[in-house]
Amino acid sequence: MRFDIVTIFPDFFRGPFDYGVVPRAFREKIAEAHTHDLRAFTHDRHRTVDDRPFGGGEGMVFKPQPIFECVESLNIASKAMRDTTKESVILLSAQGKRFTQATARRLATLERVVLICGRYEGVDERVSQLLCDEELSIGDYVLSGGELAAAIIVDAVVRLLPGVLGHADSSKYESFGEGDTPAASPGVPGPDSRTQVSTESEGQQVPRTTNASGGLLDYPHYTRPADFRGVPIPEVLANGDHRIIRKWRRQAQLAKTLANRPDLLATADLSDDDREFLAQCNDSSGGNV
C-alpha cells in the first residue's frame, strides 16, 4: 500500500514514522509513504502557498493551484475517472467526516491513498470539490495543521495490513475492532452465545477467552504480578475456566463502554445477555442506557 502526503512540512514525518510498527511495515515492503513539499509546486520567488480569503475574514487560505499541480504530478487518476476501490485522495480538515476504526479498515483495502494536509484558516473549497474523494477529521477539535492527522491515519491504517502486527487477530480483539464471526465448524456455538471456540495445537477445541469488541471498547487487561500495590487481579482471570473468563470480559467491556463511550452502544451488535447486563448496570446507576 502506498501513501502520498502533501504538506508544507515534509520533515515533520521523520519522527512519527521512525517508531513502532509503521517503519517495520515500510522495511518489509508491506506499505510505503512518500511526502511531497507543496512549496515545490509554486511559481513565485517567495514560494507562496496561501492567500487572503475572498469576502474578508481572519487568517489565510491554501491556494488551489499548488495542491492541484502536486496531486496531478503523482499520476493518480482524475476524480471523474478514479477507481475509489483502489485509490483515494483525501483532504484532512476540521470540516471533514470523523475518522473512525471503520474508516481505517476501509482505507486498508486500498492500494493508494493521497493525504492533503490542510493548514492556516483552511483550503480553497475547489480542492475538495474537484480533486478529493472525501474530507476527514480525526476529532472534534482544531489542529494547527493536518500533518498530525496524516500521521495518525497512516499509523491506524498500516497496522491493519496483513503481516504488520505480530498476531493476525490483534486488531480484531481491541477497542473498535470487528465483531465475532460465526464459527465454521458445525455444532460449534456462534457469537450470539458468546461461547466461540479456539483450536489449540493438539487439535482439541476449547472455549475462547477473548471477545472481539464489535465496535465497543476493549475489556480491561491485567498481567503479572497478580497483586500490585495491594490491588489484586480479578479472581475470575486466574481460575482457568475459559467460559467464565469470556463472560466476565464481555461484561467488563460493556461496563467500560457504558461508562466512557455510551454512544457506541446505540449501534452495537448486542445479544440478549448483553442487554440484560446493561439493564442491570442502568438500574444500579439510576441512569439510562
End-to-end CA gap in the chain:
41
Burial per residue of 82-103, b for 16 or more beta-carbon CB atoms within 10 angstroms, e otherwise: eeeeebbbbbbbbebeebebeb
Question: 141 vs 183, which has greater pLDDT?
Answer: 141
Whether residue 191 contacts residue 179, with contact meaning beta carbons closer than 8 Å, is answered with yes
In 107-223, beta strands by DSSP E:
112-117, 122-123, 134-137, 197-199, 205-207
93, 122 contact by CB (below 8 A): yes
145: nearest Cα among 213, 59, 220: 59
Helix-strand-coil split of the chain, %, nearest 5: 35, 20, 45
* pLDDT greater at residue 187 or residue 196: 196
Give the sign of the dihedral formed by CA 68, CA 70, CA 75, CA 79: negative
Residue entry with cell 446493561 = 278
Mean pLDDT value across the chain: 88
- The DSSP string of 36-56 is EEGGGG--STT---EEPPTT-
Note the pLDDT tens digit of each residue in 124-133: 999 999 999 9
The band of 197, judged by pLDDT with boundaries at 50, 70 and 90, is low
Write out pLDDT tens, residues 14-65: 999 999 999 999 999 999 999 999 999 999 999 999 999 999 998 999 999 9
Distance CA 37, CA 41 (A): 8
265: cell is 452502544
Nearest-angstrom CA–CA distance, 161 and 90: 19
* Residue 225 grid cell: 504480578
pLDDT category, 191, cuts 50, 70, 90?
A: very low
Q: Does position 148 have pLDDT exceeding 50, yes or no?
A: yes
pLDDT at site 203: 47
Q: What is the pTM of this model?
A: 0.83
pLDDT, tens digit (0-9, with 9 covering 90-100), for 258-272: 999 999 999 999 999
